[in-house]
A = this chain, B = another copy of it.
């Protein structure tokens, strides 16, 4: 069944071992425990600063880290299992890309953010940031889901993580924008990057695999595991690296309300738009999450609960509309095949989140933030910027993210066209069997055979 080109026996082991070996060598040279993870340093710090163990950042952030970790590995992984015969690849390639991405990202982000005396210092915050970066990669993965080999995906991860680190450094450290939950750095960047890759890799004959692009009953339930985990833990995602105290607390609260309002908008729009007044699982699985993206920049700000709800509600409406009307247009008019609809879940809500962040930043006053201004807007607190100029810089950051995503995605797309990377043919898309030993459910029974039967039927009719 597997043609020569998709045979992974040599390519994938070579690439995995090469990437891991280089990573380990770079870790050996550059990566060290930070002052809260190192035995000597932490005990020294406690003594000198009269601190106790509870002051270790671990206790402020580790529960949030594990929620983020769950979103990355269970959330993204299972959300993509909706395809009827691509579940193994969805959850396991997600696993592979994230496992490599978090290591590579520790190095890239470390060079830009955590470089002290020639060393990269790691701890719970670097773990969260590394997981965040893999989130962008997994969003891009959603755009090309079912259409790329694991070798292509690892190459994409390598470059996308690198560009993510540069883009993030420019946005946060040079432009001085705020983006705690990554509306710009993660969602906008990841979505448009993936869409550009998908554009360059456009498959004019993808119709030959379309009958496998749908779901079956239980694959939709597996996908709901991903949806619900993403939805529940999004407050932890947006708040994971905000300042201690009110900032983490407020970010959680805003995200929670935004998502709740988004869910009602999604059910409303789904019933309104779907055929015969029925609900569509694609909308519920995806659009109900847009509320988390839409407050990714602004949730740490004094957005107000009802402001968060308005943002979430609008995101749910826009996202559902996108699934209904825009995704088919992107395919037919712009030649962008977006398997998971990441443009609707991450692209448009990401841009929306950036704009909301700019507006809320420009409305910041000393009256509202008090002594907490320094945590949220340090450049306003120290007088470097007015709220209005902070708002302008937030907008600039959005364009930086879009620029990196579009140029980076095109470059990576072209790179992935190089032969020998095991890209599946147009008839082999959305299909586990080319990369996996799939259990044989022989005898005309079971779901896989059901799909095969369907294939046969379609071929007979063709």
- Interface with B: A183-191, A193-201, A336-344, A440-448, which one? A440-448
Chain B CB within 8 A of A236 CB: yes
- Let me know if A127 and B256 touch, CB within 8 A: yes
- Given A69-B232, A122-B305, A276-B7, the answer on whether A56 and B2 have CB atoms closer than 8 Å is no
* Consensus secondary structure, chain A interface: helix
Which B residues are in CB contact (< 8 Å) with A12?
A: 267-268, 271, 277, 279
- Let me know if B439 and A271 touch, CB within 8 A: no
Which B residues are in CB contact (< 8 Å) with A216?
A: 439, 441, 446
The residue in chain B whose Cβ has the minimal distance to the Cβ of A14 is B268
The residue in chain B whose Cβ has the minimal distance to the Cβ of A372 is B39
Which B residues are in CB contact (< 8 Å) with A442?
A: 454, 457
The residue in chain B whose Cβ has the minimal distance to the Cβ of A78 is B225
A217 touches which one: B37, B123, B278, B448 (CB < 8 A)? Answer: B448
The residue in chain B whose Cβ has the minimal distance to the Cβ of A27 is B306
Which B residues are in CB contact (< 8 Å) with A410?
A: none
- Interface with B: A96-104, A387-395, A412-420, which one? A96-104
Question: How far apart are the CA atoms of A47 and B245 in the complex, in Å?
Answer: 13
Chain B CB within 8 A of A116 CB: no
- Let me know if A267 and B74 touch, CB within 8 A: no
A360-409 contacts to B, CB under 8 A, are 367-373, 375-376
Closest beta carbon of chain B to A259's beta carbon, Å: 7
Question: How far apart are the CA atoms of A25 and B38 in the complex, in Å?
Answer: 46
Closest beta carbon of chain B to A325's beta carbon, Å: 16
- Let me know if B276 and A2 touch, CB within 8 A: yes
Which B residues are in CB contact (< 8 Å) with A309?
A: 20, 23-24, 27, 103
- Let me know if A245 and B53 touch, CB within 8 A: yes
Chain B CB within 8 A of A221 CB: yes
- Let me know if A259 and B99 touch, CB within 8 A: yes
- Given A43-B372, A306-B28, A371-B43, the answer on whether A87 and B228 have CB atoms closer than 8 Å is no
Question: How far apart are the CA atoms of A206 and B231 in the complex, in Å?
Answer: 35
The residue in chain B whose Cβ has the minimal distance to the Cβ of A91 is B224
Question: How far apart are the CA atoms of A453 and B442 in the complex, in Å?
Answer: 9
A103-160 contacts to B, CB under 8 A, are 103, 122-124, 127, 150
Binary interface encoding of chain A residues 9-30 relative to chain B, with 1 for a CB under 8 A from any of its CBs, else 0 = 1101100110110011101100
Closest beta carbon of chain B to A419's beta carbon, Å: 16
Chain B CB within 8 A of A179 CB: no
A214-250 contacts to B, CB under 8 A, are 214-218, 220-222, 224-225, 228-229, 231-233, 236, 244-250
Quick one: which of A55, A252, A376 has the most chain B CB within 10 A? A252
Closest beta carbon of chain B to A447's beta carbon, Å: 6
- Let me know if A249 and B123 touch, CB within 8 A: yes
Chain B CB within 8 A of A261 CB: yes
Binary interface encoding of chain A residues 42-64 relative to chain B, with 1 for a CB under 8 A from any of its CBs, else 0 = 11101100000111111110110
Instruction: Count identical subunits in the complex.
Output: 3
Question: How far apart are the CA atoms of A276 and B31 in the complex, in Å?
Answer: 38
Which B residues are in CB contact (< 8 Å) with A261?
A: 20, 23-24, 103
Chain B CB within 8 A of A334 CB: no
Binary interface encoding of chain A residues 346-364 relative to chain B, with 1 for a CB under 8 A from any of its CBs, else 0 = 0000000000000000000
Closest beta carbon of chain B to A343's beta carbon, Å: 21
Which B residues are in CB contact (< 8 Å) with A437?
A: 274-275, 278-281
Chain B CB within 8 A of A411 CB: no
- Given A150-B267, A250-B38, the answer on whether A279 and B8 have CB atoms closer than 8 Å is yes
- Given A63-B63, A439-B220, the answer on whether A246 and B36 have CB atoms closer than 8 Å is yes
27 pairs of residues in contact across A and B, judged by CB atoms under 8 Å: A7-B277, A12-B268, A17-B264, A20-B261, A20-B268, A25-B306, A27-B257, A32-B305, A33-B304, A37-B250, A38-B246, A39-B368, A39-B370, A40-B372, A44-B371, A56-B244, A56-B246, A74-B229, A78-B225, A88-B221, A124-B252, A124-B253, A225-B225, A444-B445, A444-B453, A445-B445, A446-B450
Other than A36-B246, A122-B305, give 16 A-B pairs with Cβ distance below 8 A. A13-B268, A24-B261, A27-B257, A31-B306, A32-B304, A37-B253, A54-B54, A63-B66, A92-B284, A96-B263, A103-B257, A127-B253, A217-B441, A280-B437, A442-B457, A443-B453
